[in-house]
């Protein structure tokens, strides 16, 4: 099976590191023209230089700060006034870790702006052209914690669950236009985010980060954490014509970690 995204345009959030970067690289390798979206202009330029251009793609970059919703709204609205995309990958950095007893109402509002409002706004803007073309792919980077909450990630648990249920609702309406909407439930991957969370847990538990990583790997049935490149392969498939009959789903990519069905 050949994944050919030639002629398709993709917008990928938080694409200068970790999972977002891996997604952008795989979409570009599959022939898509990619617009990278993140906060650091220096990192955006660096990743752009690493993307495949074998099919003469003209990759772009968009500097945004997902934590500043007002500014984000202005930038992303201006972008879609001049551009359209076929493939939208909704991805942002995660909110600060913490438990339910450690967080206040303001924390949830900030997480809502970061994880939900940016996703809904970007998708609404992208859908207009997708509906005209009668073809589109909306792929949300979510988390396994929407099914099995992680106590130390209460903000992510709560708001990503809202994204997933919103996406399911959207999929029932968008399907008539040839647009699929899917959410990926992310498990443990070798990213800067995991390294940061492990460092925090190691400090709290008084053990080494290596020990925390070993515990994490032992909890995964395949006995390792994921390579971000593996995530990119799944997104490229969902973005292709081969996945045209897959929509409204929540697909775990977690090495079998979820206990629930």
The encoded tokens of residue 218 equal: 């032992």
Q: First and final CA of the chain: distance in angstroms?
A: 28
The encoded tokens of residue 59 equal: 């990759």
DSSP 97: P
Question: H-type helices in the chain, by residue range?
Answer: 18-29, 41-50, 69-82, 105-112, 118-133, 154-174, 192-205, 209-219, 228-239
Active site residue 152: yes
Q: 213 — alpha (psi -120 to 50), left (phi > 0) or beta?
A: alpha
Instruction: Compute the Cα dihedral for 252, 254, 260, 261 and give only its sign.
Output: positive
Say if residues 13 and 135 touch (Cβ distance below 8 Å). Answer: no
Say if residues 90 and 64 touch (Cβ distance below 8 Å). Answer: no
Tabulate helix, strand, coil % of the chain (nearest 5).
50, 15, 35
Exactly one of 69, 79, 108, 152 is catalytic; which is it?
Answer: 152
Say if residues 35 and 9 touch (Cβ distance below 8 Å). Answer: yes
Instruction: Compute the Cα dihedral for 241, 78, 167, 59 and give only its sign.
Output: positive
The bridge status of strand 87-90 relative to strand 60-63 is: unpaired
User: What is the set of active-site residues?
Assistant: 152
């Amino acid at each position: 099976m050949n994944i050919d995204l030639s002629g398709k345009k993709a917008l990928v959030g938080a694409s200068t590191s970790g999972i977002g970067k891996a997604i952008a690289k795989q979409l570009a390798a599959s022939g898509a023209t990619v617009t990278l979206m993140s906060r650091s202009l220096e990192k955006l330029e660096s990743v752009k230089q690493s993307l495949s251009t074998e099919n003469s793609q003209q990759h772009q970059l968009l500097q945004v700060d997902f934590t500043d919703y007002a500014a984000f709204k202005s930038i992303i609205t201006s972008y879609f006034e001049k551009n359209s995309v076929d493939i939208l990958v909704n991805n942002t950095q995660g909110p600060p870790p913490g438990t339910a007893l450690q967080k206040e109402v303001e924390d949830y509002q900030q997480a809502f702006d970061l994880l939900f409002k940016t996703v809904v706004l970007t998708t609404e803007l992208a859908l207009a052209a997708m509906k005209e073309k009668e073809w589109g792919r909306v792929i949300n980077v979510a988390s396994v914690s929407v099914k099995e909450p992680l106590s130390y990630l209460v903000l992510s648990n709560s708001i990503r669950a809202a994204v997933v249920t919103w996406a399911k609702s959207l999929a029932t309406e968008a399907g008539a236009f040839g647009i699929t909407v899917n959410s990926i439930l992310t498990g443990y991957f070798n990213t800067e985010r995991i390294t940061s969370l492990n460092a925090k847990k190691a400090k709290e538990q008084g053990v080494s980060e290596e020990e925390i990583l070993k515990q994490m790997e032992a909890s995964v049935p395949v006995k390792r954490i994921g390579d971000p490149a593996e995530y990119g392969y799944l997104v490229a498939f969902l973005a292709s014509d081969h996945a045209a009959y897959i929509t409204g789903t929540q697909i775990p990519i977690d090495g079998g970690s979820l206990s629930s069905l």
